[in-house]
Structure 1
Amino acid sequence: MSHLPETLLAGYRNFMTGRYAAETDRYKSLAREGQSPETLVIACCDSRAAPETIFDSGPGELFVVRNVANLVPPYSPDGEFHSTSAALEFAVQALKVKNIVVMGHGRCGGIRSALDPNSTPLSPGDFIGKWMSLVAPAAETVTSNTMMTQAERQTALERISIRYSIANLRTFPCVKILEQKGRLELFGAWFDISAGELWVMDRETGDFERTSIA
């Protein structure tokens, strides 16, 4: 009896005979010397939008934090458990990343639930509902726009939430100070799962522009 699903074991075997075999020296170096990625990516935990795959990144190149709807909560040192804030702190203070990218994606289930007034909790704890309340004011504004279709509202909130998370990043003193000193840059991106398009946020206007692959 296997202690892991066979699909995972098969993938591991492919990894060992493929990528690991081709990059053995790099893995050994990373194990010996530690990681030093230059970019932190805050992404959604959706299985269809893996940053390492989208950006074709090698081992040690990206420090990735994934949560429902790629949200960043505001700075809140209240003694509670804050996994995203802890990872952010480690990336900025210990790894000293130079870039932070908040990457959302199309057809996000968390965003869809935030837009649905009839959404019911998946459990008594309603952890998703509590988490998505971070964007509740924006969701209410988008929902009230009767001139937009449901798909347009979805895309709008997916992109608004990215700008919201970037604003929340700046509530963290370490991020704000390093950005002001020019030692840290913040970026926003949105990935269209269906078309494979990457849209990047203009840091001055907040508009999203499709990335050319030419």
Structure 2
Amino acid sequence: MQRFPEYLLAGYRSFMGGRYTAERDRYRELAANGQQPRTLLVACCDSRAAPEIIFNSSPGELFVVRNVANMIPPYEPDGQYHATSAAVEYAIQVLKVENVVIMGHGRCGGIQAALSPSSTPLSDGDFIGKWMKLLKPAAEQIQTSSLLTAGERQTALERVSIRNSVSNLRSFPFVKAREVEDGLRIHGAWFDISTGELWIMDDETGDFVRPTL
């Protein structure tokens, strides 16, 4: 048996002696009655942008789905493997979440890959390359702008990607039905890793603004 990482065991010991002890009753309630999260949160895999930490969430509050560049693909009932779409379906149809938040972040490696795709795949499967092609039209348009710096192009595509995922989410018939029938709310957000600032997407204009805290 391979040795389990000691720093993870140390973290687990700290968790058991701290947060789990403080929230033991909550965990027992969740074990007995199941989860009823109010929000589906689609976030990036990036280790610097953990939604449970950013929103200081308690156990059972968020149904979190993480993938490279926090993207939601368009509705494609083609019988293939669609992990993100499956999670969206479960959260909306079974858990009946009230909100969906798609949260991007600054300095996203996936977005950088979309802006500067490598000519050499990371593996024979080229999984990241194929995944990031969801943003190819937007990336090419932003990349050709001579008025933007490299950093501005990066931030622009990070935010355009969020708007694109909101649009893709609404291509799912059951999502649109929930919006109409019982007011499912869909939000976009962008987190700045370097400053901790959270920007919220205006649903009408698509602009990102700082919330009043």
TM-score by length of 1: 0.97
Q: Partner of 1:30: helix, strand, or coil?
A: helix
2:107 matches 1:104: no
Runs of 4+ in 1 over 2 A off after TM superposition: 117-120
Count of residues paired in the alignment = 213
Between 171-180 and 61-70, the greater mean CA deviation after superposition:
171-180
Partner of 1:37: 37
SS, match of residue 102 in structure 2 = strand
Q: What runs of 5+ residues in structure 2 fail to find an aligned partner?
A: none
CA distance in 2, matches of 1:130, 1:184: 31
Matches within 5 A, 1:49-68: 49-68=49-68
SS in 1 for 2:10: helix
| Bigger Cα displacement from structure 2, 112-121 vs 174-183 | 112-121
1:16 pairs with 2:16: yes
Letter in 1 for 2:33: E
- 1:115 to 2:132 alignment: no
- Percent of aligned positions that are identical: 66
Residue identity matched to 1:38: R
Aligned to 1:135: 135
Residue type of the alignment partner of 2:211: T
TM-score by length of structure 2 reads: 0.97
Give the SS at the match of 1:162. Answer: helix
Structure 1 distance, partners of 2:151, 2:119, is 17
The offset of 1:3, in angstroms, is 3.9
Q: Is the 8 A contact 2:72 2:84 kept in 1?
A: yes
1:103 CA drift (Å): 0.2
Q: Kindly report the root-mean-square deviation, in angstroms, between the aligned alpha carbons of the 2 structures.
A: 1.2
Deviation at 1:121, TM superposition (A): 1.6
Q: How does 1:184-195 map to 2 (within 5 A)?
A: 184-195=184-195
Q: Which runs of 5+ in 1 are unaligned?
A: none
Instruction: Give the Å deviation of 1:186.
Output: 0.3
Quote the residue 2:81 is aligned against.
Answer: 81
What is the CA-CA distance between 1:183 and the residue it aligns to?
2.7
Q: 1:153 to 1:3 in 2, by over 3 A?
A: same
